[in-house]
Structure formats: C-alpha cells, structure tokens
Structure 1
Amino acid sequence: MTANTRSGESPGDEGVRRPVSLDDEDALDAFVADADAALVEFYTDGCGICASMEPVLGNVARAVDVDVALVNPRDDPPLVERFDVRSVPLFVLFVDGEPVARRAEGFIPGDDLTAWVDEHVA
C-alpha cells in the first residue's frame, strides 16, 4: 500500500491538507477506513479536467476538514466495477468508511464541492 502526495510536500507542510495519491484498492480501503470523512477523486492520466481539480480539492480539504485522495482506477481495474466508474473525474464521498454520495459532472467549482461535502458530512 502506498499513499503519496501528488503535489509533493516539503518538511514545513505539517498540518497542511493536500490530496494524497493512492496506488490501488487496498490503499483506498485503508485511507477511507482511517478517516471520519474522505473525498476521493477517481481520475485518469491525461484528463485535463481531473488535473484542474487538484488545487480545488486541496482548498476543499482545508475548508471542510476532510481527507482527500486521488486514485487512478486504470491502475487497479476492479475499482472501475466496484465504484461504477463511467467517466472521470468521479468524486466519491466516504463517511465512516462507507460511500455516501458521488458526483461525475466534470469540473466542479470549489464552493459547490464544499457545499456538497458539507451537506453529506454534517
């Protein structure tokens, strides 16, 4: 299991929430199990909209105090079927380790995504 920051962290970044890159289904399961609430973006390499969501996700993580991760389901095909990934980016919100909501609408502005997370986590 590996969890890396896609943005990279420097030693002074403790406490700064950034999206974490997950390698596979086991890493995803461990990540959501350890978080009270987690927002996961399913993305693919070369998806411009997916890449443009990364800074938005970092802002959402800080605004609503949720853990945020990114996973490429093409790296672990069972994830495609398990989460019914039909398009990317797909956002799945987990509360207490269980998926509670999902959105697959392309680019979602930060305020909209924050409100959506708040609606399901509160």
Structure 2
Amino acid sequence: MSTPFNAEQPPERPVDLADGDELTAFVETYDDVLVEFYTDGCGVCASMEPVLSGVARSGAVVGTINPRDDPPLVDEYRIASVPTFVRFRDGEPVDRISEGFVPGEQLQAFAQG
C-alpha cells in the first residue's frame, strides 16, 4: 500500500486522517507525531483548529482524526473524551493529554516531547 505521506517533506499544516489505516501510515512515516482525536460538533475541538495550525507551522507533524469515522479507534486509543491529543514516537503512542482546551505553547511543548 502506498502512502501519500513523505518523510522528506513533513506537512506544514494539520493533516485530516480518514481512518485507522491512514493514521497508522501517518504515524509510521514520521518520527514524532501529534494526533488530535476529535468529533464533529465539539466546540472545544473546533477552538483547537488554529492552535493545531500554529503547532504545525512551528515544525511539529500534526494529524487529526474523528474516531467516530472508525469506531475501533475509540477502544484502541482509549478515547474517553475529546479532544484527546496523543503523541506518537516511532509509530507508537507515548503520551496523551485529554483535558479539553490546551494553549498553543503547552501543546507545542507536548508535541516536541
């Protein structure tokens, strides 16, 4: 399976991931990745969009995914509330924040580990 992701050219804005297969390909392409698990209609999730864009522009690789589009993701990544931010290193989840709105500087520091 070919992937649209290029490790040589990390994205400069958040990448919307359609399903678990895309999520897996995304986190396996880059060494360090921040992924927001969100749902449509979540006001806090919507308010995170400009923050995530800023984090991506600062050099972090950022992806977003709606686990309702691929329900097994809810159990696999223990998503109990949204937004939940999961940091991946070498394709594996290593840390998470699920406390609602996260300010830009805090999220950027979290993304950089």
TM bucket, shorter chain: 0.7 to 0.9
Distance in 1 (alpha carbons) for counterparts of 2:29 and 2:10: 16
- Aligned equivalent of 2:56: 61
Q: Percent identity?
A: 58
Tell me how far 1:117 sits from its aligned partner.
2.2
Tell me how far 1:66 sits from its aligned partner.
2.0
Q: Which has the higher contact order (CA 8 A, sep 6+)?
A: 2
Distance in 1 (alpha carbons) for counterparts of 2:36 and 2:79: 11
Tell me how far 1:17 sits from its aligned partner.
1.0
- Aligned equivalent of 2:18: 23
Structure 1, unaligned stretches of length 5 or more?
A: 4-13
Q: After the TM superposition, which segments of 4 or more aligned residues of structure 1 sit over 2 Å from their partners?
A: none
- Checking the alignment, whether the CA contact within 8 Å between 2:44 and 2:101 is kept in structure 1 is yes
- CA-based RMSD: 2.0
- Checking the alignment, whether the CA contact within 8 Å between 2:33 and 2:111 is kept in structure 1 is no
Mapping for residues 23-102 of structure 1, pairs under 5 Å: 23-63=18-58, 65-102=59-96
SS at match of 2:88: strand
Question: With structure 1 as the length reference, what TM-score do the two structures score?
Answer: 0.81
Structure 2, unaligned stretches of length 5 or more?
A: none
Q: Give the number of the structure whose residues are more often helix, by fraction.
A: 1
